[in-house]
Structure 1
């Protein structure tokens, strides 16, 4: 156990050295690559204006998302009404999708608890 801890510490030191050595170059490259998205001059007023634009743009997109939701719901209702015409493959895919969602929920719960398992012990 102690040797694994030492290996982990050595790996963490290597990673931190790599980040220290290459972090600045990566930062500069990232900014250069995305220069078109940077607003000059970066003032508080400009940041507030952009924040308001984002908020109201997202607010204005609600009707479109609302319509999309109802279209999706109508599609689900249509499938449910015609469920006797479904193929086994379609049902299997839907079942796997539901199982995957449930698994992600469980993993999220475990991660939220700090990767501890709780429950009854036999």
Structure 2
């Protein structure tokens, strides 16, 4: 176990050195490549305008998302009506989806408690 820790530490050290050596050039290349997305001059007013555009664009997409949700619910209702024709693969996908939802719920609970695991210990 200690040897694994030393290996991980050495890999982390190598990665840190690589980033320190090449990080600045990568950063500059990335900014140059994505220059058309950079707003010049950067001002508080322009940032507020862009944030409002994002908000209202997201709000405008809600009806389309609701329609997609309705289609998904109708599909699930249809599957439930014809559950006798349900294949094992479909049931497995549904079970994995339910398990994923439960895992995200548990992760959210843990994050909400400040990354602490609580329980009753007599």
Which residue does the alignment assign to 1:47?
47
C-alpha distance in 2 between matches for 1:2 and 1:83: 53
- Are residues 1:76 and 2:76 paired? yes
RMSD value over aligned CA atoms?
3.1
Structural mapping, 1:1-122, within 5 Å: 2-102=2-102, 108=107, 112=111, 113=115
When residues 7 and 85 of structure 1 are mapped into structure 2, their CA distance, relative to the original with a 3 A threshold, is closer
User: What SS does structure 1 have at the residue aligned with 2:41?
Assistant: coil
C-alpha distance in 1 between matches for 2:58 and 2:64: 10
- The TM-score, its normalising length taken from structure 2, stands at 0.73
C-alpha distance in 2 between matches for 1:48 and 1:97: 38
> How many aligned residue pairs are there?
119
Shift of 1:92: 2.9
C-alpha distance in 2 between matches for 1:81 and 1:66: 22
C-alpha distance in 1 between matches for 2:21 and 2:67: 50
C-alpha distance in 2 between matches for 1:18 and 1:118: 43
C-alpha distance in 2 between matches for 1:59 and 1:43: 24
- The TM-score, its normalising length taken from structure 1, stands at 0.73
